[in-house]
């Protein structure tokens, strides 16, 4: 294992199931690879249209593949999830403003991780709403925030500075030529490399001079 400290930025949106997979893997490998992980909540719809890309739902074949792929991929990554019955392009905006407010409020990284995870669970595991204040409140409470803290963050999430911050981070992703999530920017020894998707960890390990031992590094390997 390399002793050099490595920086990793994860641009993500809770509407993206593949972002959840990348998020969990990076959290698992944080100490294994000795990385400084920075979460960058952004707005996927802004990236899609800002980059000239198209939503997955715009291509029926791509959407059908995604439904099939997610079942097997989630099993492999050890992150159970189920595709919601409907996906609206804009239904993550309030959620991502809420997450951005938590980040800007100066909450510790663990809180940001827990809230993001709870929102992914609602959308992709229990198929619950993530657009309404009551839904965001429930996610915040389950993540360990107090009722007063959640109310304060909900109010903050509607403010212009938070709207501007989410837009700014989304634009930052676009500056890296981002076209979808998860989008991962890695830095080591002054060198930077970007990776798209949740299936590039072997290459990321190679870039870092580390070993990839599968999506669950603490899981014992079965000798064949």
* pLDDT (0 to 100) of residue 167: 98
- Strand 6-12 relative to strand 35-41: parallel, antiparallel, unpaired? parallel
Other CB atoms within a 10 A radius of the CB of residue 206 amount to 12
Task: Give the confidence band of 224 by pLDDT, cuts at 50, 70, 90.
Answer: very low
Structure-token pair, residue 157: 């999430």
CB-based contact 44:181 (threshold 8 Å)? yes
**Hey, what domains does the chain have and what are their CATH numbers?**
6-208 (3.40.30.10)
The per-residue pLDDT for range 87-115, each reduced to its tens digit, is 555 589 999 999 999 999 876 679 999 99
Residue range 180-198: mean pLDDT, rounded: 95
Instruction: Give the pLDDT score at 87.
Output: 55
Distance CA 128, CA 42 (A): 21
Q: For 26-64, how does the pLDDT look when each residue is reduced to its tens digit (9 = 90+)? A: 999 999 999 999 999 999 999 999 999 988 777 778 777
**Catalytic residue annotation:** 16
Rounded (10°) CA dihedral 21, 25, 26, 27: 100
């Amino acid at each position: 294992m390399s002793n050099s400290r490595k920086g990793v930025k994860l641009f993500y949106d809770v509407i993206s199931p593949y972002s959840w997979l990348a998020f969990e893997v990076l959290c698992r490998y944080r100490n294994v690879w000795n990385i400084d992980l920075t979460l960058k909540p952004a707005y996927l719809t802004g990236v899609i249209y800002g980059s000239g890309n198209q939503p997955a739902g715009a291509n029926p074949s791509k959407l059908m593949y995604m439904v099939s792929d997610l079942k097997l991929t989630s099993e492999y990554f050890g992150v159970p999830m189920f595709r919601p019955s409907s996906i609206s392009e804009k239904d993550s905006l309030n959620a991502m403003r809420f997450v951005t407010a938590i980040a800007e409020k100066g909450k510790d990284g663990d809180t940001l991780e827990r809230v993001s995870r709870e929102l992914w669970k609602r959308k992709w595991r229990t198929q619950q709403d993530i657009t309404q204040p009551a839904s965001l409140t429930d996610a915040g409470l389950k993540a360990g925030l107090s009722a007063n803290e959640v109310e304060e963050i909900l109010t903050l999430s509607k403010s212009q500075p938070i709207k501007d911050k989410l837009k700014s981070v989304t634009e930052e992703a676009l500056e890296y030529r981002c076209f979808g999530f998860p989008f991962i920017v890695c830095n080591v020894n002054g060198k930077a490399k970007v990776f798209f998707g949740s299936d590039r960890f072997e290459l990321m390990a190679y870039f870092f001079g580390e070993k990839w031992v599968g999506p669950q590094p603490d899981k014992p390997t079965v000798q064949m």
